[in-house]
């Protein structure tokens, strides 16, 4: 039995009719369990990327406005798989950063660019845009010519200090 059949049977996933490769749509509430299964039992050992999609204005689109797509890879069998979670505006989906630590920054990027929130994420704050930036620039309704004055610099010291402490260093105040 292949991983798509198992995802359909165990987690109620459905094949993405628009996709030309291995892609299934899964409900947000089943995401964590499905990702754990894929990593621990199906050997999808690499989370390649997490991508946001804004379907606003797309012809014949009758699903939620946003989707979050998880690109996974099994490096033993060289198999790729995508999980798609559809998200209504203002709704949250669970974080998978405890399963794949790289998801920490990938989820932050999706939140920063699209405004999609990840429930349980420990540090959901700007990553690519300035700390004072207003809005989410990859949303299709974001004004392309909007100008913003940015005066503060976010040095991300909280993350640097946390990382140093996990490596055994003591952060000393100057």
Helix (H, G, I), strand (E, B) or coil at 24: strand
Q: Tell me whether strands 117-119 and 66-74 are parallel, antiparallel or unpaired.
A: unpaired
What domains appear along the chain, each with residue ranges and CATH number?
3-166 (3.30.460.80)
Q: Own/partner pairs for 5-12, CB < 8 Å, 24+ apart?
A: 6/37, 6/42, 7/34, 7/37, 7/38, 7/83, 10/34, 10/37, 11/37
Backbone conformation region of residue 20, classed left if phi is above 0, alpha if psi is from -120 to 50, else beta: alpha
Alpha helices, DSSP H only, in 92-155? 103-114
Residues 6 or more apart in contact with residue 168 via CB below 8 angstroms: none
Least confident of 34-48, 57-71, 112-126, 127-141: 127-141
At residue 103, the pLDDT reads: 97
Please give the average per-residue pLDDT across 121-126, as a whole number. Answer: 90
Separation between Cα atoms, residue 83 and residue 34, nearest integer Å: 9
In the structure, what pLDDT confidence band is assigned to residue 87 with cuts at 50, 70 and 90?
Answer: very high
Is it the case that residue 100 has pLDDT exceeding 90? yes
pLDDT at 150 over 80: no
Contact 71, 51 (CB under 8 A): yes
| pLDDT digits 0-9 by tens, 38-59 | 999 999 999 999 999 999 999 9
Residue range 132-136: mean pLDDT, rounded: 89
Q: Categorize the per-residue pLDDT at 108 as very low, low, confident or very high, splitting at 50, 70 and 90.
A: very high
Does residue 1 have a pLDDT over 90?
A: no
**Of the candidates 158, 120, 115, the residue with the CA atom closest to the CA atom of residue 31:** 120
Average pLDDT over the chain, rounded to whole?
Answer: 91
């Amino acid at each position: 039995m292949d991983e798509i059949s198992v995802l359909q049977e165990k987690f109620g996933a459905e094949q993405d009719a628009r996709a030309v490769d291995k892609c299934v749509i899964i409900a947000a509430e089943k995401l964590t369990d499905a990702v754990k299964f894929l990593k621990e039992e199906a050997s999808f050992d690499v989370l390649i990327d997490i991508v946001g999609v804004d379907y606003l204005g797309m012809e014949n689109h009758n699903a939620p406005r946003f989707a979050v797509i998880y690109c996974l890879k099994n490096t033993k069998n060289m198999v790729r798989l995508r999980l798609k979670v559809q998200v209504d505006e203002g709704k949250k989906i669970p974080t998978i950063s405890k399963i794949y630590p790289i998801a920490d920054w990938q989820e932050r990027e999706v939140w920063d660019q699209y405004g999609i929130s990840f429930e349980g994420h420990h540090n959901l704050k700007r990553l690519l845009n300035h700390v004072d930036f207003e809005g989410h620039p990859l949303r299709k309704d974001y004004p392309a010519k909007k100008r913003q004055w940015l005066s503060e610099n976010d040095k991300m010291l909280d993350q640097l200090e946390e990382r140093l402490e996990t490596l055994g260093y003591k952060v000393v105040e100057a």
